Amino acid sequence: MTENQISALIYATAMNDGMPDQLARLILAQAKHETDDFTSNAFIKNNNCFGYKYVPGGKWQTGAGITSTEKDPYAKYKTIEDSVHELTDWIKRRQFGKKFPADLNEIKKPVDYAVLLKKCGYFGDPIKNYIDGLTHFLA
């Protein structure tokens, strides 16, 4: 699968899961950032688009994948789409819990999305690095 095909699949899956256009674009940028433009071993070997760690009994995960630098396993997914479903479900749960806006159309810029992700504990990276990564990969 080419990079363009992967990008189209991630964007289309996010849209089909109810994410608005701009958020779907930010999710695609997030996938590119998290996987170093689809070149990471977690992506190549485990269809893991977002750096999710393995959680036994996870709805979308099929098992433990390769070991992370933190010495715990990344999640393994049957398909790229399942990895995207995991993230969009996570967003919907945060939306239901009022940690994300009721109207996801309010998330327009990389900084908007990164701040929400950081507040919810999604990543440990300094926020500037994450904003820069999203900005770099935003189509």
Q: How much is the pLDDT for 81?
A: 98
Confidence of residue 139 (pLDDT cuts 50, 70, 90): low
Q: Is it the case that residue 114 has pLDDT exceeding 90?
A: yes
Q: Is it the case that residue 16 has pLDDT exceeding 70?
A: yes
Report yes or no on whether pTM surpasses 0.75. Answer: yes
Lowest mean pLDDT among 7-11, 104-108, 121-125: 121-125
User: Concatenated DSSP letters for the chain?
Assistant: --HHHHHHHHHHHHHHTT--HHHHHHHHHHHHHHTTTTTSHHHHHH--SS-PBP-TT-SSEEEEEEEPTTSSEEEEESSHHHHHHHHHHHHHHHHHTTSS-SSGGG--SHHHHHHHHHHTT---S-HHHHHHHHHHH--
pLDDT in tens, 1-11: 999 999 999 99
